Structure 1
């Protein structure tokens, strides 16, 4: 480190559109370093297909070193059909799922906030979008994505069977629920726990543990429960009813994509994946846009970088200790949208979209205007 208060950020563009959107987020991070004296060191690192071609590893040793030495990780995206050349075992060893598990990133935050500038381009009606501001807390390091046994087996009759295990322990449920209760306490005091307790034993345990934790530690929070199928409907019918929503790994994955319809596009959604707090209250943290690698548009310079840029705002607030700068960046994104900047995914019919880099330019111009 070049200074005792310097914070280290590992920037990993990854695959598909990941490097393109992360490049714009890095420009924003550099603006805060230069204009707001944000004490941050940035280390760029490889991940994915190109790293494998060069080193034989999806996550090369130097990338692992950058991750281990970082206060925060800014990640782009992973996946795509071109990655088929990476052997399955190498892909599993360097997968984002395994990285999240190895860092114990158990709490994934996905804020869903509507911007009036996008009402015309959002697929939901304006009356549905008014006042939407909630957070989905997704359990990220357990559940069906990690449960064993799993696999595909051949059966004696020649058919095949695919199987996965959805497994949760009391502690895995309680720690993410506790995180969500504490977040609700800092917001409007309402938590909705989403499960499928009418048909799944893992969800029965989920609901029982959330209820017990509420009684033991958080009686001041208004707790409600919702089955996941109803939650999906309510997110598009009346999303403003929610404050904080907590749910398991697979349900959170699905519901947050559904909730993107309230934000205007999947390209608008940031996220933060957080690990346990240490003795100083610091958490290992990975920030990334919710969208995937979008290989169909990779390299064309048309991807929406706002999910990645807003992930920097989450980093400013949650890791770098700069809430005022986080607010400034969120205002700058809103200002850029209000001035008409639109990538293809959020452009109204008949309006010419801007490029990925031009959207980055628009946010930087807004930061200049707002900072004075």
Structure 2
């Protein structure tokens, strides 16, 4: 029985891990173990996702909590080393690009445990983004690089990754999206929209969290003024993070919001998918939402100067915007002049199956035969 540790820490990790966990539990020879680092530690961002995705309680909770990037990464490394000593896994699987991803990759490799990176090869080529550093470091040391699309393969090969390490398996977030869509009944959908007094295709869904958008006074003020203006054309629904609410108060931003600019509390994954599915379009700075909207063939505006998911632009329904172009592009959507887009290859809800086949081909070794890690004298 091959013991595999699945590492989750922040919201996007849960949706990427769940399909793989269930596929491993249904495949002979694998013993999947969930390690929750606690990087996102409030209920709405962690436990609620376990419930919506019907996951069991995590087998290990590291309690990393908040702090600077260095503090958070260090806490995860210290606690995860204890888990490795207890479990003696055959493989560690990390997801995405958060601090937990790079922390557990480094710790596992120093203990001579193989690492697989799900969602490898994504690049924004912007090293001012902490996520870009996490992606590059994790890919450099991982034994298996499991990419969501062919552009990821090309990035890795340019960086010198050997073909044997790189496997294009598809987008595992779409596995969770397909599953959740299949569980949502028409009555649930209608009830949620009724509760918010919204109709299908009648509103804009907004999700913003990046520091450049919500932690800078001028940027946040400009965004809120624009959204207030947009809400005069159709309702704007903004599930707002508590940090952003505090910033509005801290910065003294006083915008007289219209009745159709609806700031609501953060919602669970299932509720968010419902809101997303029925929106006219989405304004976001999230990577995963760019992918979900492309699968749903829903217009998406990404308020960022770059994206590590360019396939959502070249093939999908996404486009980058800034405060100078956002109104023109919003108006194009509202007038019906937006691209239809296509769903990229292997974004079909079966990525977890392909990953498990790769693990079988990889031949995860029995822990009893693994070498002892080198103990540093430094």
TM-score in terms of structure 1 length? 0.25
Query: Whose relative contact order is higher, 1 or 2, with alpha carbons under 8 Å and at least 6 apart?
Result: 1
